[in-house]
Amino acid sequence: MPTLAGQVTGTASIPVSVRFWSKVERTDTCWVWRGAKSGPGYGAMRISGRRVGTHRLSYELFVGPIPAGMHVCHTCDNPPCCNPAHLFLGSAADNQHDKARKGRAAARSRNGAAKLTDAQFDEVIERVAAGERQSHVARDFGVTPQAVCQFLKRHREKAA
């Protein structure tokens, strides 16, 4: 097992691995973290005063060190899961591509800043494809021509 900085913490000197297992519920698939969580739902634990993601901790405990700059990604897409069989290393770009490939990326109306519904996005595509000027379509929907242009660019890239 790899040696982690701060494996023993606190006055009780409880090893990190013992603290880890005390908060993990093993199911048939995921190992679900039942302790503290971050805003997006990832498990979190303090080690030597530093907050560490439990999926990252699990990877280090059971697989090995995480190279600098690498992300620990989930194949199961379950943020509290810390089953090392569900974890893999990837760059930030790899993580974003995985997210998009699985349909979890904020796109169209799932984008928190979106002003249009999915039906309206479809209408934008149809109207521009029929030859209508992007600036006219943008005006009708109360968005900027730049927003329409960017949406159509992303739409074409996905279609390619």
Which domains, ranges and CATH numbers included, belong to the chain? 8-101 (3.90.75), 108-159 (1.10.10)
Please report which confidence band the pLDDT of residue 158 belongs to, taking 50, 70 and 90 as the band edges.
confident
Task: Give the range with max mean pLDDT: 84-93, 137-146, 150-159.
Answer: 84-93
pLDDT value at 151 more than 80? no
- Which of 148, 100, 150 minimizes the C-alpha distance to 127? 148
149: alpha, beta or left? (left if phi > 0; alpha if psi -120 to 50): alpha
DSSP states of 41-64 as a string? Answer: S-BEEEETTEEEEHHHHHHHHHT-
What per-residue confidence (pLDDT) applies to 117?
Answer: 76
What per-residue confidence (pLDDT) applies to 78?
Answer: 92
Lowest mean pLDDT among 3-17, 71-85, 94-108, 134-148: 3-17
pLDDT value at 90 more than 80? yes
Could you tell me if 34 and 23 are in contact, meaning their C-beta atoms sit under 8 angstroms apart?
yes
Read off the pLDDT of residues 23-76 as tens digits, 9 standing for 90 and up.
Answer: 999 999 999 999 999 888 999 999 988 999 999 999 999 999 999 999 999 999
- Which of 154, 153, 151 minimizes the C-alpha distance to 138? 151
What per-residue confidence (pLDDT) applies to 120?
Answer: 82
- Which of 45, 50, 47, 17 minimizes the C-alpha distance to 33? 45
Could you tell me if 46 and 52 are in contact, meaning their C-beta atoms sit under 8 angstroms apart?
yes
Please report which confidence band the pLDDT of residue 114 belongs to, taking 50, 70 and 90 as the band edges.
low
> What is residue 87's three-state secondary structure?
strand
